[in-house]
Structure 1
């Protein structure tokens, strides 16, 4: 492997996985709902935010409607919801944290639905967004990414107006799903609120889960490592994952941070990154070193009035592109689309997708989970899909570096149109750096 794996991690690199990228909320949640509807044994989810207004695709109703139908079929349905603490209380509005109105909603649910609430280290967030289907069974499948149960995320492709989100999940099948299973069991068993009268819901929610013992069969060719951010002191039981080592989880885990730095430092040709925030100095320093080596870099972030300050120093390099995306409203005007994805693709060979932003909260304090994968087929499928959406062009015949260079040219051309108040762009992407001499 030219990109090294995280060395200090709960989970090993495992061969034999299949990865399928799911770009944006409707395709992602449509596929997740299909998997829930086909589940034979269990559906387990870790949820950060669940808006009351969220509806699943194709008339399926609310997320709870989908999960209740699974429970009615006798499926073991468990959810770990984040409960904000006093320092994060401002985020309660769209979290399903166990308020009286949430308990009232649950009173209408199937009695076998099981829930535990979980707080993070004070000031931080239980930020994992994962779905695990048929844990421990032959059909075990996991979904990892950054998409919240948010009405702004579950929007039909092509509807790119103001207030909408762009995000990504991956579907994972094969040996590494056992580590998603282990993560869920570890979190369920040590959920912070589990012993409080209002810290769990459903008959059976008081019972802990067994850790997995069997590794699923190989389903593809991808090497995968499940990586996390876990604050020290949150968990105590470092029970080893199957064919893994006992990990001192009480000391915390920073394998997401280790992997991001190692991957950027190993890049030889190209880096494509989408992230809601890129603000940690160590990550910026890694990108700066890569640019000095001549690596072609594209970073896609939310399109705000002012480009993120930490990234502006990188703009001195011609082979660096900082971009946002904007869609067309019904009136023909361009409106920014919020980039909520957390992904990076390197050299057309390696990628990571998950819940981890590149700010200090996600890298050092929140509870996060990503899947890093070494598989050129999966990486190119994701890269080609993203650039087809953002640039409205097929890049599948280009090498990774040429694709990044094309992205830069189109983004700069669209920036010029933006400054000329011309909304007839190619695709969605535009440079967040003003054209020299434009006065803006």
Structure 2
């Protein structure tokens, strides 16, 4: 059984799993922010947020206004954002914004500031997206805080992404990750049993989207957390082991699927042993060059028997994988060099057929808005010049 085999492999690698969790999926930004904002309104003790960036737009302002209200009520509010993530978006938080937020009681700090002319730690950025409320519920997935998760952008159109809410023991794991990072950044040691409740009680949070699966409260979940120097290979190991363990099917959605040689080989071997491998990538992207490399890579995989679906309506920023209909992952990790070799990343691994089916159903729906990559559609999609750019881009895979 691929699911039990994977759990054993991950446990040997130091990942703990608990089987008392609920997981609620959010298929778009509106669902995520509506649910998370409602949970924050009900916060009584603490709200902890760790994001790659808070884009200084309307959704962030609504969030910070709400957090300021909670701070005024006496709720502890702590927020972290990545320095590079902030400076690389076109609506960054400025120092004056941070001063204003701190005056309102929001403890907000910057992960590993980049100080010119010395480009320190430019390759080890905090790409995680974690929110923990009262130590009882947690949110994680692929979305930062920005309007475009709801409104899209002119450049790519609609912006698709995935997030989830976890209730159960693994909330404590996410809290440990946040507080360890908070201590690293601020040198403040925040601890105590009240931060590690792990479970909520009826009517504590009101109006949240329920986990309607029959397995709610009994889902096995593990958190894989990549940190440079301490758990360098855990994301790579998870994906490699999961692909190698697959017996029936693999479905992957990932925006920056440049892969590494080990993962490419694992996918080819899966096809050779009869596993149905399907990958979905977007025809649109928010950054240059990387998509050219992605198109080159998936074309090569298509020629080896992988079914590649090219998503057309907008940008699919989702990072999920479903294996054998038995387990899945939702998180922040891309399948590129940055996530696999450099950045701080975190994924939830969910050993549950029903949650996996929810994601697989999403995949099947999105196939209707995609075209299947074939030799014919490849030549229609990419010009000779674009194919050359893709070949050149793939030479830069270790840096993309």
Aligned to 2:75: 75
Aligned position for 1:171: 165
Asked if structure 2 preserves the Cα contact closer than 8 Å seen for 1:269 and 1:295, the reply is yes
Task: Give the secondary structure class of the aligned counterpart of 1:308.
Answer: helix
Partner of 1:148: 144
Contact 1:82 1:95 in 2 (8 A): no
Determine which structure has the larger helix proportion and give its number: 2
Aligned pair count reads: 346
Match of residue 338, structure 2, among 361, 374, 389 = 361
In structure 1, the partner of 2:246 is 267
Question: What is the aligned partner in structure 2 of residue 244 from structure 1?
Answer: none
Q: How far off its partner does 1:228 sit?
A: 1.3
- 1:323 aligns to 2:309 (yes or no): yes
> Alpha carbons of 1:429 and 1:161: their partners in 2 closer, same or farther (altered >3 Å)?
farther
For 1:62 and 1:78, the matched residues in 2 are separated by 16
* Aligned partner of 1:276 among 255, 264, 272: 255
Does structure 1 conserve the Cα–Cα contact (< 8 Å) formed by 2:302 and 2:373?
A: no
- What does the per-residue CA deviation read over 1:204-235, in whole Å, with 9 as the maximum and x for residues that have no partner? xxx42116685635961211110011001xxx
User: Aligned-residue CA RMSD in angstroms?
Assistant: 2.8
* Shift in alpha-carbon separation, 1:385–1:160, aligned structure 2, 3 A: farther
Distance 1:103 1:127 in 2: 20
CA 293–8 in structure 1, closer or farther in 2 if over 3 Å, else same:
same
- Aligned partner of 1:342 among 302, 319, 322: 319
Q: Distance in 1 between matches of 2:73 and 2:378?
A: 64
List per-residue Cα deviations over 1:239-271 (Å, max 9, x = no partner).
Answer: xxxxxxxxxxxx344322211111011111111
2:212 is aligned to none
Whole-angstrom distance in 2 between the partners of 1:141 and 1:223: 16
Deviation track 1:12-69 (CA, whole Å, cap 9, x = no partner) reads 111111111111111111111111112222111101111112427xxxx532122222
Q: Hey, what does 1:31 align to over in structure 2?
A: 35
- Unpaired segments ≥5 residues, structure 1: 196-206, 233-250, 328-336, 392-426
TM-score, reference length from structure 2: 0.78
Residues 1:352 and 2:329 aligned together: yes
Corresponding residue of 1:225: 222
The alignment status of 1:209 with 2:190, answered yes or no, reads yes
Separation in 2 of the partners of 1:151 and 1:118? 22
- Say which of 278, 281, 294 aligns to 1:301: 281
* SS at structure 1 position matched to 2:30: helix
